[in-house]
Amino acid sequence: MYPTCKALCFLHGIPYQPYLCSQFSAAYNIYLEIFHSVDKHLRAALNHDTPNWCLLNSCPACFYKLQDEPALQFDWLVSIDGNNSLKHWDSTIYGTTARIDSRKAHSDYWIGPTAVDQFKGEVKAQEDSSPDDWQDEPVEANQGSLTCVTRWRNAGPETRKKMFSVFHESGIFIAACRHRFVLLACNMIRSGELAKYPLALIDKLLTVYGKNGACAYDIGCAFSKTLRNSSLGPRASELNFWMMVGAFHGHAHNCKCQLAWHPMYIPGTGHSEGEGCEHIFSASNELARSTRHASPFHWHQTIKEYFTFWDADKYAVLCV
């Protein structure tokens, strides 16, 4: 807000005053609220307010099916990943009282903490994991499984725990389609990439999109076992859901793992590299400076508005 206010003052030839930034912020909030109200009425008139309408119509190239269209190997393909750049500072960390703000940001992307916590404790920790571990360790692999499954460990757990203690949201976890439209997101609260975050997103994706889906994740090889052992395992198997490792992260895995999990060796992936989330994060990282100390409402609002603009931009270049 500050640079925008300074620029507007320069254009109008008036000196900048601090109160102008507060007024501009309030005006922007009112503008977004009016825009949301108009959009809500427009969606209702067009019957676009049904449950999951945005998910089903976010990417025409992925989810718009023609009559007698030839079936593909995968009816839908997404990538999932977490990012710590959009951390949100806990304003009570120094004993100060957080400013009461009851406003809730409007978003079709977000899965709430209640839905995410349904999968809390789905993963059985390894017997040799220490109390300092900050992420879910994969369960022990069966004999004959890929060696990289048992090699993932958490780096610097004690340092990470201290870092997480000063942030309420330690980042976000998202799902994106192969054309890099943002589909879903959830907050990572005082933790790293726990298994409950991808499980919650996959649960929603399976509910909305159904069978013959695929998902790329940087540790998809290890997470596939976590998924099978979770409450989602039977449904994922019944719907023929397929996990894989993104092309970029896949080359860090051993050769045997790549032959089984790399998109290059999986029929039906085409030119999809499974790294759509990395493209999104490389751009959204610019929001870190303006959201780190924002209020919870403005933190959520800023990210949501950015994702909305990102999707609109991707929609415009689908034909390119």
pLDDT band, residue 141 (cuts 50/70/90): very low
Same domain, 262 and 174: yes
Yes or no: say if 269 and 74 are a contact pair by the CB < 8 Å rule.
yes
Tell me which residue has tokens 């949301």: 36
Question: Can you say whether residue 240 is alpha, beta or left, with left for phi > 0 and alpha for psi between -120 and 50 degrees?
Answer: left
Where among 49, 68, 89 does a domain terminate?
Answer: 49
The DSSP line for 241-266 is -EEE--HHHHTTS-HHHHHHH-GGGS
174 and 227 belong to one structural domain: yes
Count the alpha carbons within 13 Å of 204 in the hemisphere toward its beta carbon.
Answer: 28
Same domain? 71 vs 116:
yes
Q: What are φ and ψ of residue 122, in 5° steps?
A: -70, -25
Both structure tokens of 128:
């040799």
Contact 275, 79 (CB under 8 A): yes
In this structure, the answer to whether residues 71 and 118 fall within a common structural domain is yes
Q: Is the pLDDT of residue 145 over 70?
A: no
Judge if 3 and 86 occupy the same domain. no
What is d(CA 203, CA 228) in angstroms, rounded to the nearest whole number? 13
Q: What's the mean pLDDT when you consider all of the chain?
A: 84
Report which of 171, 182, 172, 169 is spatially closest to residue 279, judged by C-alpha positions.
182
Count up the domains in the chain and report the number: 2
Is residue 126 predicted with pLDDT exceeding 50?
Answer: no
pLDDT tens column, 74-114: 999 999 999 999 988 887 776 666 677 778 888 889 999 99
Do residue 142 and residue 43 come from a single domain? Answer: no
Treating both helix axes as pointing N-terminal to C-terminal, what angle do 296-316 and 18-45 enclose, rounded to 10 degrees? 60
98, 5: one domain: no
Residues 182 and 74 in one domain: yes
Tens digit of each residue's pLDDT (9 = 90 or more) over 155-192: 445 555 556 677 888 899 999 999 999 999 999 988 88
Report the percentage of the chain scoring pLDDT > 70: 85
Q: Which two tokens stand for residue 227?
A: 């998924």
Please indicate, yes or no, whether residues 67 and 118 belong to a single structural domain of this protein. yes
Contact 246, 217 (CB under 8 A): yes
Predicted confidence (pLDDT) per residue in 218-271, tens digit:
888 889 999 999 999 999 999 999 999 988 888 888 888 888 888 888 898 888
What type of residue is 128?
D
Amino acid (1-letter code) at residue 305? E
Q: How far apart are CA 112 and CA 186, in angstroms?
A: 7
Q: Are residues 131 and 28 in the same domain?
A: no
Host domain of residue 45: 1-49
Tallying the residues shown for the chain, one arrives at 320
Q: Amino acid identity, residue 161?
A: K
Same domain as 212, residue 117: yes
Whether residue 61 is found in the same domain as residue 43: no
Query: pLDDT at position 295, please?
Result: 85
Q: How far apart are CA 188 and CA 197, in angstroms?
A: 7
